[in-house]
Structure 1
């Protein structure tokens, strides 16, 4: 009987709520706990669940709260990104060094035990590493991996491992290893220990680490002409290294014709003389000795050469190719090289399907007799190089030298400026002004 009375009382409350609308809702919400308490304390065979009060409470909640909270969370995420960049910018005001970069990492690690926002912080740190000069420091990469929380992203069963447990964090760890790969940094045992503690043994970052250990030793010495990461700061030493790299001849000799110095004239004016460094091999000297003095030689340039992020310019001393009627084919000495003959006359049997009638564009360029690098690319500086070459190549004293110099790096020509029309006798005057050396 008491259960029946309680049910009748709940039905009456529902009827009053439907009839009165919003005015009776507060009363219903106040009476609902009382009704629920009566039902809970009444001894009956079946438990009753009163869900009406919960529905009323959900209806009273504003709908726009979820969107407001979501926008607030997005705003906090955007603010966190700006805050991480501000940490590095504030540290850069003092000095962009390894110590200041490690100091920013320590500040983030000690600020929160749970390391909230660590993925955004690591991405910001990867972008700022070249500015602080730590993009090739393995210790800094290991400390950056130490920012991840430990033993949280490790999968506990095969299902989590199969469905890429915590994909965003694993992708961030792979990105750290890819930046190490781009800069040629070999990870060590400490890197593996950190990755196993963070992501587990069968995770994607650990597999990326295993691939690096497999391929890096195989491609470490694949380049026969390696370029050091730190190039020489002295321009003369940089010119020596660059010319030796271009020549690709072990017998080539690098000669410094002039070192940079500052001279004081009688009037008290300081005159700075640039450096002049040249290179010439014995084969080039032999070709220049056989050159016809009646045909001029040309000094051309500048030509760019990139060494990592540094661009240098060089000049060449060359001649025009010989006409076909003046070419003389010298017979190859068969005993010149016993193990590797330079000429083979073999009558190979060809199949009917073999087609040797492919076209190859053969461009016959003139011989290059020497190369040089100079601090300035004007005619007066390069004339000192030609004067120094005459000591080992006397034929240059009897050969005309024409300077074909293009506009240098600092001498930029505007494309909008119209070029003046050439007059009939202007071409000969231009050749004379360029300085034909007899």
Structure 2
């Protein structure tokens, strides 16, 4: 079957070349496309002489990188090249430059890219073509497009399903990928208990409030407070401070041993979709809790068979249950995020905490351990007289 098809194609090209020689016409219309740009060549006759006019359009060198210009380049490719040669390279180039145009989360643009593929040509005609991935290059290209949609959180619609059905048929791998996306993506879309606006806000102050509220939500009694560093008399900077502390953390801070220091550590990073926020924590060394002994009195698999030396089960000792803020690696007293993430804003935060019901901070030694430009910056302070040291 394959040899017969190849012979027919060979005879067709031989016949076509003979007709072109007889009519003195070129056998192919020179239209080409490469990965990063579109090149079209047209032969026009002006004043009896043929001139070759070449138009180059590139995603990377376009002057205006907007959604309209992006869609215009897709329309130019579809309308100029009837046979749509190099459509796979064109789609990969379009996917590569989507973020530069700000259309990487636009469903309409993804459907316009899928519409570039010819309809009906890639549909398998028998079971062998369906199982052995008919036109694998084109199918893998569309699968990569759907994966990029999934990574960017773009949920396809019913129109996308009909487009894939017309291009690859009901047994195509891109259509299977679409069905899996439509099953799982709606389940995970609104599953997070900390919803974040989509797209997230660009204001750092709003992002800091969302981040600190998310981290401190483990304790429902946590109070979110907004401070201004300019309210402190000796403050150098004028910025905002988003602080979070619960009554349980205040009690833990009052019960802390005065001889042991507490630490301000950071910055740590938390992500809100595509935005990140740096935050700091006020902590102490972890407490040592007694290990819980396993009660084996009701375990019949390890029963001690004895007649005369039977001993009653041991009584358990009473111990306080550690709170959610007393972890194995640290005891957390408060959290904060500042506008500048500098040592001066953190010192203003500690002074605000001291005024806001944490008077014990004036008697404790506070050690500021900050990460700055590859160095570990340490600030030791007792009360309101800090001493700065770089390690």
Q: Give the TM-score taking structure 1 as reference length.
A: 0.62
Give, in angstroms, the shift of residue 226 of structure 1: 4.8
Q: Residues 203 and 320 from structure 1, CA distance in 2 versus in 1: closer, same or farther, beyond 3 angstroms?
A: closer
Q: Which residue of 2 aligns with 1:234?
A: 203
Q: 2:380: which partner in 1?
A: 434
In structure 2, which of residues 241, 255, 265 is the aligned counterpart of residue 290 of structure 1?
A: 255
Tell whether the 8 Å contact from 1:297 to 1:402 is kept in structure 2 after alignment: yes
Q: How many residues get paired?
A: 310
Query: Is 1:215 matched with 2:179?
Result: no
Aligned to 1:388: 352
Cα distance between partner residues in 2 of 1:303 and 1:210:
39
**Residue matched to 1:87:** 58
Question: Which residue number corresponds to residue 16 of structure 1?
Answer: none
User: Aligned to 1:304, what secondary structure does the other structure show?
Assistant: strand
Q: Who is 1:181 aligned against?
A: 150
Whole-angstrom CA distance in 2 between matches of 1:374 and 1:363: 24
Query: Please, which runs of 5 or more residues in structure 1 have no aligned partner?
Result: 1-72, 262-270, 330-343, 354-361, 415-429
Q: Post-superposition shift, 1:153?
A: 1.8
Q: Secondary structure at the match of 2:35?
A: helix
1:173 Cα deviation from its structure 2 partner: 2.0
How far is the alpha carbon of 1:413 from its aligned partner? 4.6
Q: Determine whether 1:120 maps to 2:89.
A: yes
In structure 2, the residue matched to 1:43 is none
Which residue of 212, 234, 240 maps to 1:243? Answer: 212
Partner of 1:399: 363
User: C-alpha distance in 1, partners of 2:120/2:286?
Assistant: 71
Which of 260, 278, 284 is matched with 1:313 structurally? 278
Tell me, what secondary structure is at the counterpart of 2:367? Answer: strand
| Structure (1/2) with the larger strand percentage | 2
Unaligned runs of 5+ in 2: 1-27, 39-55, 304-325, 385-391
Residue 435 of structure 1: SS of its match in structure 2? strand
Q: Look up the SS of the partner of 1:434 in the other structure.
A: strand
Q: Of 34, 44, 67, which residue of structure 2 is paired with 1:98?
A: 67
Shift of residue 309 of structure 1? 4.0
Q: Distance in 2 between matches of 1:144 and 1:124?
A: 11
Q: RMSD over aligned Cα, in angstroms? A: 3.5
2: CA distance between counterparts of 1:239 and 1:160?
A: 54
